[in-house]
Amino acid sequence: MKGATTDKMHTSVTAEAHANIALIKYWGKRSTDLNLPAVGSISLTLDDLKTETTVSFSDDLDSDRFELNGQQVDGDGLERISSFLDYLHEGPERPGAIVKSNNNFPTGAGLASSASGFAALAVSAASAAGKELSKKELSALARYGSGSAARSIYGGFAEMECQDTGSANSGAAKSLYDHNYWDIRLLIAVTSSQKKDVSSTEGMNRTANTAPYFKSWVQEQAQDLSDMRSAIAEKDFEKVGELTEHSCFKMHGLAMAARPPLLYWNDTTIKTIHAVWDLRKQGIPVYLTIDAGPQVKMLCKPADVKVVRQALETINGIEQLRCCKPGPPAKIKSTN
C-alpha cells in the first residue's frame, strides 16, 4: 500500500460535519478542474443538518465502495467520491476505500448535503489515510468535492475567499465567528424532498456561460462580502437579513437569465417568500434565502420562531419545517 503507514492501513475513522447555508452566495466557478469559486461567500453552519461518514482504506479492495443512507451507490455518485479520494493520495496506487455516509436530512435537494457530505468525507478520509491536516488544509481538500463544503469545516460564520494565492490552500475557507457568537435561528421550509434536476455545478457553468449579468455579479461581490462582514461584526440583524435576501435574489435572477433559464423554485417556494414578506410588513424581522433547490431558509431571532412557524404552518405544500441554531465545526467522532 502506498501513501499511508502500514499500521494505519485498516483504520476506520468516523467524522461528522454540519451543513451550512450561504448568506452571501457563491455561484460560478473560476476553475472547474480545481473547483475554485468565481466569487467569495459567507455562510452560517447549522446544528440540525448533519452528515456522518466512516472511511476505511484497504489493500484488499480493487475498487472503492460507497454507501449513502444505507444504499449502495455506483456510477457518477461513486465516481465523485473516488476522484475526491484521489486528491488525498500521493503515489501511483491508492488502496480501495469503503465509505459509508448518512445524512439526517434530504440529499441533493438544495439543503446543502454536498457541503456537510464532503466536509465529513475530507475529515474522515484524511485521518483514515494517516494524514494530519490543519483546518485550512481540510477546507481546501473539502472544496475539491464541493465549493460550499470548504465552509462546513468551520462552525458558526465562515468565509470562503476567492483569490488564488497559488498555494496548495488557495480556495480554502476561514472562520469568522464560532457557533457561540450570536444566538440566531434559521428556519428551513422543505417544499420538496425530490433531487433537483440541474446540479449546482451544471447550473453555475450554464449561468457563467450564458447569463448577461454574470460579469457584474462577480464585480459586485466584494462589496456584499464587506458589508456582510461589518453587519455580522456589529450583530446588526436587519442588515444581515437584508444583505442575505439581496444576495439570494441576485443569484436567482442571474440563474433565471441563463439560457435555457434555471428556475429552482416551485409554487410553495413562492408562497413562502410572500409569507416572509407579509411577516416583515407586520414588523417581524425575518429574512429569506434559497439555494439551488426549492427550499426556503429564513433567518429570524429566537423570540420570533413561534410566530414565524405559525405563519408558515398555514401554507399547503411545506413538507417539513426545521429550526436550526448556529452549528459546530466538523470533527472526528471515533477511530477504530
**Chain positions contacting ligand PMV, by CB under 6 A:** 22, 25-27, 41, 114-115, 146-148, 200-201, 291-292
CA distance linking residue 263 with residue 137, whole number of Å: 35
Which lies closer to ligand PMV via its Cβ, residue 113 or residue 127? 113
CA distances from 15 to 122, 196, 274 (A): 9, 26, 39
CB–CB of 297/188 below 8 Å? yes
The Cα 21–Cα 184 span in angstroms is 13
Nearer to ligand PMV by C-beta: 66 or 264? Answer: 264
- Show Cβ contacts of residue 100 under 8 Å, excluding neighbours closer than 6 positions: 53, 54, 66, 67
CB of 198 to ligand PMV, least distance (A): 11
Does the N-terminal peptide bond of residue 329 adopt cis geometry, omega within 30 degrees of 0? no
- Grid cell locating 185: 435561528
| Residue in the structure block whose three cell numbers are 494517516 | 130
Cell numbers 454536498 correspond to 114
Q: Report the Cα 173 to chain-centroid distance in Å.
A: 12
Whether residue 102 contacts residue 69, with contact meaning beta carbons closer than 8 Å, is answered with: yes
Closest approach, Cβ 249 to ligand PMV, in A, equals: 13
Min dist CB 313 to ligand PMV, Å, is 26
Give the nearest residue (CB) to ligand PMV.
22
**Degrees, nearest 5: CA angle 236-241-247:** 125
Nearer Cβ to ligand PMV (127/295): 295
| Cβ distance to ligand PMV smaller for residue 14 or 200 | 200
CB of 257 to ligand PMV, least distance (A): 16
57 vs 214, which CB is nearer to ligand PMV? 214
Quickly count: other Cβ atoms within 10 Å of residue 202's Cβ.
Answer: 13
Residue 326 per-residue DSSP state = B
Using an 8 Å Cβ cutoff, are 298 and 273 in contact? no
Q: Which is nearer to ligand PMV, 22 or 128 (CB)?
A: 22
Instruction: Supply the DSSP string of 196-209, one letter for each residue.
Output: PSS-HHHHHHHHHH
Alpha helices in the chain (DSSP H): 75-88, 113-128, 135-145, 200-210, 214-233, 237-256, 267-281, 305-312
For residues 203 and 329, which CB has a smaller minimum distance to ligand PMV in the complex? 203
Name the minimum Å distance from CB 46 to ligand PMV. 12
Report, in Å, the least distance between residue 244 CB and ligand PMV. 12
Residue 89 or 297 with smaller CB distance to ligand PMV: 297
C-alpha cell at 176: 469568522
In the complex, minimum distance from the CB of residue 258 to ligand PMV, in angstroms, rounded to a whole number: 14
| Beta carbons of 263 and 223 less than 8 angstroms apart | no
Nearest-approach distance from CB 29 to ligand PMV, in angstroms? 9
